[in-house]
Structures are given as C-alpha cells and as structure tokens.
Chains A and B, each alone.
Chain A
Amino acid sequence: MISMDTKTIDEAVELAKFEQKIANEEKIEPSDWMPEAYRKNVIRQMSQHAHSEIIGMQPEGNWITRAPTLRRKAVLLSKVQDEGGHGLYLYSATETLGITRSEMIEALQSRKAKYASIFNYPTLTWADIGAIGWLVDGAAIVNQISLQRTSYGPYARAMVRICKEESFHQRQGYEIMYELAHGTPVQKQMAQDAMNRFWWPSLMMFGPHDADSAHSGQSILWKVKRESNDFLRQKFIDQSVVQIEVLGLELPDPEIVWNEERGHYDSGPIDWDEFKRVINGGGPCNYQRIKHHKKAHQEGEWVREAVRAYRLKQQTKNVA
C-alpha cells in the first residue's frame, strides 16, 4: 500500500513537471519522464511518418527506370534516396522512445501501423511523379513546418533537418508539372489528369476535420501536433490554387472560389468515405504496397542472417 502511494505521489510530481515543460515550450527529451500515453502517441505519429517515407519510395520508384531524361532521372533518384534517408532518420528518432525498428516494421507489415494513405494510389504516368512532388511533398511540408515546434525534442529536430530537403522535392515536382503543362496538348492532358487524381488524396493527407479527429485533441494539448488538420489543409489549398493558376491548368475542384470575407479559398466537400475506405485497406494499392514491402524484407532475410552470423564469428574470434 505504502509503496503504491509513493509511486502515485512520485508520478504526480513527474506529471506536473512534464506539464510545466510543455507549457513553457520546452522540449521533452528521451531521458525525461513522460506519461505512457504521451510516449504511445508520439511513437504512433513518428513511426507512421517513418513508414510513409518508406512506402512512398514505391510509387515514385515505379518511374526511376523510366524517367524521360537523364537529368530528371538523377533528380528523381536523389529525391527518392532522400525519402529513404528521412525514413531511416525517423526510425532512429522513434527508437529513442523505447521501440525497435524491427518492431515498427513488424507493425507496418501486420497493418497495425499506418502510413500516409496517399501512397495507396498508383503512379500511372510520368506526370504523377510531378503531382506527387508538388502536391504530396507540398502537403507534407505544410505539416512538417508546423511539426518543427512539436514537443518531443528528437522529432522536432528531425523535422528541421527533413524540411530542408523537402523544398527541393516540391520544386522538382512542380518543375515536372510546369514543363508538362507548357508542353504539347498530350503532355498538358497528362498533367491535368495527374493533378485531378492526386488533388483529393492530398487534401485527405491532413486527416479528418478537426471535429472528427480521434487523436487530435490530446495531441494538440501535449503540443505533439501544433496546428489543427483543417487549419493546415486550408493553408495548403490557398498556396496550391495560386500554383495551379501559374500552371494554367483547370482547377481540380469546381467549387474552389475566393472568399473575401474569410481571406481564404472555399472548396468542395471531401469524400470521407473514400478516405476511410483507403485508410482501412481498400485503396487501389494497399495490398500491393505491403506485399512488396514484405517480399523485399523476406528476400533480404538471408543477407541479414549472414551479417549476424559473420559478426558472431568475428566476436568469437576476437574473444579467442
């Protein structure tokens, strides 16, 4: 009884300290005490972010060998390589919360952990690579800039580092779109089609409306998330409409109109049924993405086994 009380008192003190830090905009560091629910919340968000970087390599990788020029090929290759680096960096940062990379990968492969739903759509044409760089990385930047102020220290620092590379990603995507939109009619059509297909899933990347967002409330209180889904989505819409005008493409949503009073663009309703369907495994590529990930993982098993065996042999040698 006594020890339990002591524990409760200790915890209450720690919790008060933790909450004070959050209130003071101080970062929570790996060695700091944190509520279990906070730890879980941050693990969920960070690992989901890491998985998104990794799964995103598949639809973009789909065009590396078919990029139309050497320059585009080199740029895309280095972009996708960056994403791999982001994944790696985020996995390591998440490990500071006491979970291993293989546990995270296991959660991904068993569909317990999620990744950005947008990567469950296929990249059908070269313009899709433009649309992904421009819209998907664009949406990611809007989100990640706000996450530079997230309360978990390693996550905030990862975002600062990652954001530096993201603007190059968005630029290369927009450049592809610009070239196509100013090219032949068939290229312009390709760009329009890609934008139309990726527009709505990009808006969905910000998650459900604030009123319907399961994790948002607590995340905002703990300052894991710094801005609401709807606020960030609006920011993205506003910046994108201007960019679409520069491209000279038709708006992907006929209801987009400037609202003088709000100082923002209004837009049409999002198909949340589609969002739910895709996030729960019913998108065109959900099955394919996880299958691919598992296949690569299984095919690499003999390599990892060999590395473990070799290390063990070296250790035994060194001891002897």
Chain B
Amino acid sequence: MNSIQTNEENKTSLFRFVVALADDSVILSHRLSEWCSNGPYLEEDIALANIALDYIGRARMFYQYAAEVEGENRSEDDLAYLRTEREFTNLIIHELPIGDFAFTMVRQFFLDVFYHLYLQELVKSKDQTVAAIAQKAIKETRYHLKRSEPWIRQLAEGTTESRDRILLAIDELKEVVGELFDMPSWEIELVEAGIAVDRQSLKPAWDKHVQAFLSASDIDFEDTRLQITGGREGIHSEHLGHLLSDMQYLQKTYPGMKW
C-alpha cells in the first residue's frame, strides 16, 4: 500500500515537472513566432522562426511524455489547448510580450545562458525520456546562445538608442529571472530521486556568465531587486490569458474536433 502511494506521488510530481517544462517551451515558442514578418531583417524573421520551431519541438516532446506519465488518455494537444491560465505553470519570463527587438534578445540571452546550464545537468537525469529530450535540446541551445550573445554585444555597443533599449530591457527582465532558479516542492523531491535539476545550484554560474558578458560592454548587472514569481503555481502576469485565448482559439471555439 505504502509503495503504491509513493509511486502515485512520484507520478504526480513527475507529471507536474514535465508539463511545466512543456509549458515553458510552448509559451516561449508562441512569443518568438510573433516575430514572423516583423523582424528588423528578413534574416531575423527566419532565425527567430527557427528558434520558435526548436521550442515547439521541445514542447511537443515534453507534453507527449507528460501525457504518458499521467496515463489519463490526454494528448499533447489536450494539454496545450484545453488547460486554463491557472493550470499553466510556465515561468513568467517566457510569457511576457515580445516588446522591441532589444527586449526579445535580452530575454533570449538570459534564457539561453540559463538553459545552457540547465540542460547540461538535465541530460544526466535518471529518467531516460527526460534525458533524451535534454540531449536534443542542448544542441539547439548552444546554437541559440551563439546568436543571442553577438546581438546583445552589437546592440549594447551600437548606438546610444540601441544601448538605452538594451539597458531598459535588462532592467525590466531583472524582475523575472529569479524565478528560473526557484525550486517548487515537487521538484526538490525529484532532485533527490536523480530526475530533476537543482535550479538553485545553477544561480552562481548564471550570474557569473551574465555579469562577465555584460561587463565587457560596460554594463553592471546585479539582480538584487525583488523578484516576481508565481508561474509554477499558476499565478501569472496579465499577459498569459491573452496569449492563451489566441493560441487556444480554435480548440475552444470548435470543441472536440479533429484538425
């Protein structure tokens, strides 16, 4: 009896862990795809669509696995299209509107540095499916980081305007990066089981990387501010509801149909 209960608990934790990673990916992908035909260069339209594609690929793999773990016959699309804003558990940084190109690139830079560290650990997960997804994702993230860093450099050292925009974006995003390193209780459990990654432990390396990179462009980065959190508990910014009403429009207007 006891062991079955533990398994059920593990299963719930694993589901919450995996579905949250899927939510992070699908929401960021959605935002990146909004750049389609809106970028400053045609090359950027293409590149951002490409990154959006990488993230939607991740989202699908994580959702499929979450559905499998849950074992309730839900599909990847049920999870993405039929859950409410309170059920989505993505971290807030992924859902913020794209803003200007500086905002998008600073967010991307912060996330690329984070995922670069995170996925390096996640590939060691004892859960083989999670490890395999991480293995695929890390190759993509290496490439993403190779793109976002030069962009930050160029914009930070380009014109006064571009530098101001970068500084403004950093200032705004500072408030939401902290959540990347928060550990919800179920993830702590999974760290002990060797499945999840201790996000908190990545913080020093992330700080070091970001600070060193930015200081080369004479930008001081200290995220000492109070952090906005709540994504993992389903407490989001006002933006997520709008994003979901867009994303889920067809499934909600025409329930139960095949597309």
Contacts and interface: CB of A to CB of B under 8 A. Distances in A.
A72 B81 CA distance: 13
Nearest to B249: A66
B247 A74 contact: no
Interface string B9-42: 0000000000000000010001001101111111
B246 A66 contact: yes
Given A65-B246, A306-B162, A70 B77 contact: yes
A306 to B, nearest CB: 3
Given A299-B40, A305-B158, A68 B34 contact: no
A58 B37 contact: yes
A112 B225 CA distance: 52
Contact of A306 (B36, B53, B159): B159
A180 B259 CA distance: 7
B155 A306 contact: yes
Contact of A54 (B42, B162, B165, B254): B42
Interface in A41-87: 54, 57-58, 61, 64-74, 77-78, 80-81, 84-85, 87
Report, as a range, how many residues of chain A touch the other chain: 35 or more
Interface string B44-70: 111001101100110110010000000
Interface string A147-182: 000000000000000000000000000001001100
A267 B26 CA distance: 46
Interface stretch (A14-22, A183-191, A199-207): A183-191
Interface in A270-320: 292-293, 296, 299-310, 313
A97 interface: no
Interface in B118-159: 153-155, 157-159
Contact of B34 (A65, A176, A186, A305): A65
A309 B159 contact: yes
A186 B158 CA distance: 53
A88 interface: yes
Chain A binding surface SS class: helix
A84 B155 contact: no
Number of chain B interface residues as a range: 35 or more
B43 interface: yes
A115 interface: no
Contacts of A180: 259
B42 A87 contact: yes
Contacts of A308: 158
B257 interface: yes
B105 to A, nearest CB: 9
Contacts of B159: 302, 305-306, 309
A126 interface: yes
Contacts of A84: 36, 42, 45-46, 49
B88 interface: no
Contacts of B49: 77-78, 80-81, 84
B157 A77 contact: no
B259 A72 contact: yes
Nearest to A56: B37
A176 B257 CA distance: 13
Contacts of A184: 254, 257
B161 A302 contact: yes
Given A66-B247, A88-B46, A303-B155, A81 B37 contact: no
B76 interface: yes
Given A57-B36, A306-B155, A81 B77 contact: no
A186 B253 CA distance: 11
B39 A187 contact: no
Contacts of A302: 159, 161-162, 165
Contact of B53 (A61, A81, A88, A126): A81
A307 B158 contact: yes
Contacts of B42: 54, 84, 87-88, 91
Nearest to A54: B42
Contact of B39 (A77, A78, A300, A305): A300
Contacts of B39: 296, 300
Nearest to B33: A64
Nearest to B59: A70
Contacts of A80: 36, 49
B162 A303 contact: yes
Contacts of B57: 74
Contacts of A78: 49, 53
B198 to A, nearest CB: 29
20 contacts: A65-B30, A65-B33, A65-B247, A69-B259, A70-B77, A73-B33, A73-B56, A77-B56, A78-B49, A81-B50, A81-B53, A84-B42, A179-B259, A292-B37, A296-B39, A303-B41, A304-B41, A308-B158, A310-B155, A310-B157
Interface of B: 26, 30, 33-34, 36-46, 49-50, 52-53, 56-57, 59-60, 63, 76-77, 80-81, 100-101, 153-155, 157-159, 161-162, 165, 246-247, 249-251, 254, 257-259
